[in-house]
Chain A
Amino acid sequence: MSVFREVTLAAPVAVFKLTEDFNNDPFPDKVNLGVGAYRTDESKPWVLPVVKKVEKIIAHDDRLNHEYLPILGLPEFRSSASKIVLGDDSSAIQEDRVGAVQCLGGTGALKIGAEFLKRFYNGNNNTKTPVYVSAPTWENHNDLFISAGFEDIRPYSYWDAEKRGLDFSGFLGNLESCPERSIFVLHACAHNPTGTDPSQEQWKQIAEVMKRRKLFVFFDSAYQGFATGSLEKDAWAVRYFVSMGFEMFCAQSFSKNFGLYNERVGNLTIVARNSDLLKRVLSQMEKIVRITWSNPPTQGARLVAVTLNSPDLFAEWKDNVRTMADRVLLMRSQLKAKLRTLGTPGTWDHITNQIGMFSFTGLNPKQVEYLIKERHVYLMASGRINMCGLTSKNIDYVAKCIHEAVTKVQ
């Protein structure tokens, strides 16, 4: 008799199951619009040229070794990563009240932040502090905060399905009525899965309410540079909140904007009121890291640090990022144009209004099922598509399939 006999079979993670089904599909014209990774116009993964260059530099640098990193990570990575999101001229950095923890991708940064907040925010081990995540949000946010021990994860209004845009009044309503000191997980830009971000004016209003009601700001920044092609533009909201004097966390991922998905490069940036508080917070985060992964992996952090800290490589990286962002913008523009030309019912402005990797098409579950089963076009049940899955070769087919789904299936 097995000691594991009571273990139930867990459901697979939806987005990976989708890719698995796609991989097993023998249909020659199949299209994968599921998992969120960049693809070239040949539908291939893309190792950024600057990454390939820096990998060679690192491999040939005999001064480097494999000694343990500090628990909080590679110092030059942490500081340059925080600088990227807060800006070169950040007064918070100059005031010595910004710190960081190198983490395992955006997930790891969220995890360390969540574990810290559970222990020390709003009391000690106050697992009842409500944590608000957008409706909808990245599917892992909910489970992540639950696994950290929070008992009360709530949605805040975000996506207005009818008008296919931001439910701003609903969002504000939640901010006004939630318990004080609730934690809010905000998408810094290129909201996943809707691709719909608040405008600058809307962010200002959001910040005003959050400050007045003492709500905790936890940014998730997975697409900086990737959304508009501009690092500064994509970091506007984060920087605005810092300038408004908030103490806050920002979970940064370099998976997408460096294409370093599998090296798990992330950074938890912490902005505190002063350096003494910051020091104490970091010391407690060290304890959390120590019993989770001890100290972080080096390769990805070295790649990013070398790149960000060299003017030439940094310029080259920004170019590579723009390449990706521009291809996504082109696909958005072309998809909308083709749907318009086909006369597909409904409005399709949201395809070009939305920003970043994903588009929330507005297709319902029946239409999604049709697309997958009948047309071999794979997308998430929510109607989310990854624009990177579109290419000049498959865009006609995809547009036609969407047209059929909308006209034939209700």
Chain B
Amino acid sequence: FTPPVAGAPVPQAPPVAVFKLTADFREDSHPVKVNLGVGAYRTDDCQPWVLPVVKKVEHLIVQDDGLNHEYLPILGLPEFRSAASKVALGDDSTAIKENRVGAVQALGGTGALRIGADFLRRWYNGVNNTATPVYVSAPTWENHNGVFTDAGFKDIRSYHYWDAANRGLDYAGLLHDLENAPEHSIFVLHACAHNPTGTDPTQEEWKAIAEVMKRRKLFPFFDSAYQGFASGDLDRDAWAIRYFVSEGFELFVAQSFSKNFGLYNERVGNLTVIARDGDNLSRTLSQMEKIVRTTWSNPPSQGARIVSKTLNSPELFAEWKENVKTMADRVLLMRDQLKTKLVGLGTPGTWDHITQQIGMFSFTGLNSKQVEYLIKEKHVYLMASGRINMCGLTSKNMDYVAQSIHEAVTNVQ
């Protein structure tokens, strides 16, 4: 890498912001530091939580001498793929009964987005049409842009989403962008618990969004990373996806089981594919196989086995739903308490958005100066965008965080 004649030096790449934040947090020696950055669940003791059902199933797996480590099929563990798609689309899904739903086991939500994006670039709206616009929400998960860009798309655009002034959905702006996007544009939609704003369209708003998208032939690519985690109810959190399917759309859903199974580091994801019929589906899956083959060949087994065993056993499934509800409920409690404390402190502004927003994250509305103050002066770590992870709040640090936010808002403009 010593630059050869025709070469260029390799520049140092900046670190991924959310991981840099956690790295800074780790190095901070302040005794009451709080990490409201990276999106992983924490218990009220601020510890990572291995779901009890996961621990149970891991033991079942390790004791099962009938299992081995032979390569999975390229598209992944069949019983995982079907169970995962069923969780998103519902037990009674007609699309599944009509044999026009398929799936690719992928490396977390990222991997599912990646395979979907790679496929769309090669085969959607023409062959290798890299000019098809891809719309992501403003703001969105910081990795969406990079994934679609690296898949080869040249035209990533944002659609209106967050209304900072009203701290809510810029619904008119969103509809306007849908109406004016070139036909066949791809839209990355957050199935629920929008990251980073925590603000989702209502059911009525989703219906209107779907109407425009159908009329203008726009492609829905759902990113579903929080099913069950957002409201505590799997079916409620999948309502938007199921509505679109019932409206006859062909669409992708990139599912992640990182959060709702707490299996972050086993990379458990599923790209659910809904096509008009079985023939279109099988051709699509065959091309996705080719893409998988040159990316990771075939996917890792452990996480998929855990999820599959759980989803396919009535008892374990029930236990899992309980574990998910435990996490969702704690988040709701923290939302409730934070808002109550800020209102109690008389912190300027309205704080309804804390309890109206849904899922792991809250878009506080704090500006970058206030964020800097919080990190540097109060050792409360959050994203520059003002996004906080509700899971970072506990009964022990709640007062300190509320007090710190109060000071940030009153001292810093």
Contact = CB atoms under 8 A, between A and B. Distances in A.
A71 B13 CA distance: 13
Contact of A66 (B54, B124, B294, B299): B54
A203 interface: no
A55 B61 CA distance: 10
B4 A292 contact: no
A111 to B, nearest CB: 6
Interface string A1-32: 11111111110110010000000000000000
Q: Which 10 A-B pairs have the closest CB atoms?
A: A104-B296, A299-B302, A293-B107, A294-B110, A107-B297, A262-B301, A2-B276, A283-B13, A10-B286, A297-B300
Contact of B126 (A6, A46, A56, A283): A6
Contacts, number: 234
A13 B16 contact: no
A47 B38 CA distance: 37
A297 B257 CA distance: 13
Interface size class of A (residues with CB under 8 A): 35 or more
Nearest to A59: B62
B408 to A, nearest CB: 28
Interface residues of B, number: 80
Interface stretch (B236-244, B260-268, B308-316, B368-376): B260-268
B294 A292 contact: no
A51 interface: yes
Given A214-B4, A273-B2, A56 B62 contact: yes
Contacts of A262: 69-72, 298, 300-301
Given A4-B276, A293-B114, 13 more contacts: A4-B275, A8-B287, A10-B283, A47-B69, A65-B48, A71-B19, A104-B299, A107-B296, A123-B7, A123-B8, A181-B6, A292-B107, A293-B107
A260 interface: yes
A283 B108 contact: no
Contact of B296 (A10, A55, A105, A288): A105
A261 B294 contact: no
Interface in A251-280: 255, 259-264, 272-273, 277, 279-280
14 contacts: A3-B184, A4-B250, A37-B70, A37-B71, A66-B266, A104-B300, A123-B8, A126-B6, A262-B69, A290-B110, A291-B150, A293-B114, A293-B296, A298-B266
A51 B69 CA distance: 10
B172 interface: no
Contacts of A65: 48-50
B409 interface: no
Contact of A279 (B12, B298, B302): B12
Contacts of A55: 62
A53 B208 CA distance: 56
Contacts of A330: none
A54 B13 CA distance: 37
Given A45-B70, A297-B265, A4 B284 contact: yes
A16 B61 CA distance: 26
For the residues of B in contact with A, the DSSP-based class is loop
A147 interface: yes
A65 B49 CA distance: 7
Contacts of B219: 3
A1 B16 CA distance: 41
B264 A7 contact: no
Interface in B182-241: 184, 219
Nearest to B268: A297
Interface of A: 1-10, 12-13, 16, 35, 37, 45-47, 51, 55-56, 58-59, 65-71, 104-105, 107-108, 111, 120-124, 126, 140, 143-144, 146-147, 181, 214, 247, 255, 259-264, 272-273, 277, 279-281, 283-284, 286-288, 290-300
A3 B61 CA distance: 40
B72 A67 contact: no
B13 A297 contact: no
Interface string B140-182: 0001001101100000000000000000000000000000000
Given A71-B19, A122-B7, A297-B302, A8 B283 contact: yes
Given A120-B10, A290-B146, A277 B2 contact: yes
A67 B300 contact: no
B282 interface: yes
Contacts of B40: 67-68
Given A122-B4, A291-B114, A260 B69 contact: yes
A45 B72 CA distance: 13
Contacts of A126: 6
A297 B1 contact: no
A26 B263 CA distance: 41
Contact of B71 (A51, A56, A261, A294): A261
B102 to A, nearest CB: 11
Contact of A283 (B15, B62, B299): B15
